[in-house]
Every structure is written in structure tokens, then in C-alpha cells.
């Protein structure tokens, strides 16, 4: 009758421990990404349910989006004349718990996010030109922010009635990590063929190790 010696058992356990230590971080990261995808899908669904109700109540979506310049087929044009009405109705449909019309950080609507001017690394480069609406000072002190009843946070690129067609969503609110490309993603409202939808907006800040807004948007749009 054969049996394992204590040394053999310890060696086997040591190998198992090494393999687990090597694979566990990847498994945890994959699980965290799936959790963020699930939380974003909930926010994504709530957005579109709200848009459906707004359109049903008004016959159309108030102008607070980019629309293509059909006269020459050129670049998207920002239509923000009715952003105040749009976000008022959106917040009503989505049961917003708290609105901060500036000073969102000191008023407790948002955690201390990094801005385009303070992120140490942006998509592999040290700086990005433009996107001044997402500087840290603007995010913390100027831009409008909305806290939803499920804990998610939305903050705009500006105060209203400014660039309300660009926004960012923190899918799990203050839980963290509160980093761009990890649980915070930027989008723009776009209009095409009389339909309004979320799309990447051109200021997708991304802290090191994060994902692009387009990736999480594509995951949410899949059936």
C-alpha cells in the first residue's frame, strides 16, 4: 500500500498555491469587469426607458444632443437649446435622489474624480489637448451632477445650459474605484433619424488599466 509522504503533500500544496496566486488576479479582474458591465447595462436600460417616456410625453426629445449637419454631411453639431428641460425630465423619469448644480464634490454628490489635467496617464500618453470641461476643477466645482436612486452618478461636461450633450457616468457611484475607464465612462447624446442615443463623445478619459467607453457601450448594446 502506497501513501504520500508529508514532503510530497507540502510540495503539491505549494504548487497549487503558486498556480492560484498566478491566476487569481486575472480571475478577479475579469469578474470585476463583468460586474461593471452589468451595472452599466442597468444604467443604460434606465436611460433608454426614460428617453422613451420623455418622447411619449412630448412627442420628441428636447434638443440636448449632437446631430449631423445634413446640409453638407459634415461634422456633428451640438444642439443644446433645451438641455435644461431635457435634464429636468430625465431626472424625473430616472428618480434622481440629488442634484448638484455646481460644487458637486463639496455638496456630496460626487467623489473626488481626476480630471483631464490631473490624470497621470491618458491612453498611453501624458497629456490630452482639449476636453477642458472635464478638468478636475470643473468636475468638482462647476459641472452639474445627478445621483440616481440606485447609487449611480451622472455628471455633465458643463453647467446647464452649456455642453449638456456630453456627460459621464459612474456606474457604481461612490463605491470606487471612481476612475475613468474603470467605473467612470464618458459619452455624448447623439440624434439620428429622430432617435436619441448614447455614443462615445470624443472626451473619453481613460486612466491606466481602464477600458474605452466604446467597449462598455458595445457590451451593453449586445442582446
**Tens digits of per-residue pLDDT, 34-58?**
888 889 999 999 999 999 999 999 8
Best CA proximity match to 37, nearest among 129, 164, 169, 166: 169
**Tens digits of per-residue pLDDT, 174-209?**
998 999 999 999 999 998 888 898 988 778 888 888
Average pLDDT over residues 12-41: 71
Q: Name the percent of the chain lying above pLDDT 70.
A: 81
Residue 196: φ, ψ to 5°:
-110, 135
Amino acid at each position: 500500500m502506497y501513501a504520500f509522504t508529508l514532503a510530497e503533500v507540502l510540495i503539491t500544496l505549494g504548487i497549487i498555491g503558486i498556480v492560484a496566486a498566478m491566476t487569481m488576479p486575472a480571475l478577479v479582474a475579469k469578474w470585476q469587469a463583468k460586474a461593471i458591465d452589468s451595472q452599466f447595462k442597468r444604467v443604460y436600460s434606465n436611460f433608454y426607458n426614460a428617453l422613451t417616456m420623455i418622447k411619449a410625453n412630448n412627442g420628441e426629445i428636447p434638443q440636448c444632443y449632437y446631430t449631423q449637419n445634413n446640409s453638407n454631411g459634415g461634422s456633428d453639431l451640438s444642439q443644446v437649446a433645451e438641455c435644461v428641460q431635457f435634464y429636468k425630465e430625465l431626472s424625473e423619469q430616472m428618480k434622481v435622489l440629488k442634484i448638484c448644480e455646481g460644487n458637486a464634490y463639496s455638496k456630496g454628490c460626487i467623489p473626488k474624480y481626476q480630471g483631464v489635467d490631473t490624470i497621470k496617464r491618458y491612453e498611453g500618453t501624458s497629456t490630452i489637448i482639449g476636453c477642458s470641461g472635464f478638468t478636475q476643477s470643473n468636475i468638482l466645482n462647476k459641472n452639474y451632477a445627478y445621483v440616481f436612486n440606485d447609487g449611480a452618478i451622472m455628471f455633465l461636461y458643463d453647467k446647464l445650459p452649456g455642453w449638456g450633450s456630453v456627460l459621464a457616468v459612474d456606474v457604481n457611484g461612490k463605491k470606487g474605484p471612481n476612475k475613468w475607464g474603470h467605473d467612470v465612462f464618458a459619452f455624448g447624446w447623439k440624434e439620428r433619424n429622430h432617435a436619441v442615443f448614447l455614443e462615445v463623445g470624443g472626451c473619453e478619459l481613460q486612466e491606466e488599466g481602464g477600458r474605452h467607453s466604446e467597449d462598455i457601450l458595445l457590451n451593453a448594446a449586445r442582446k
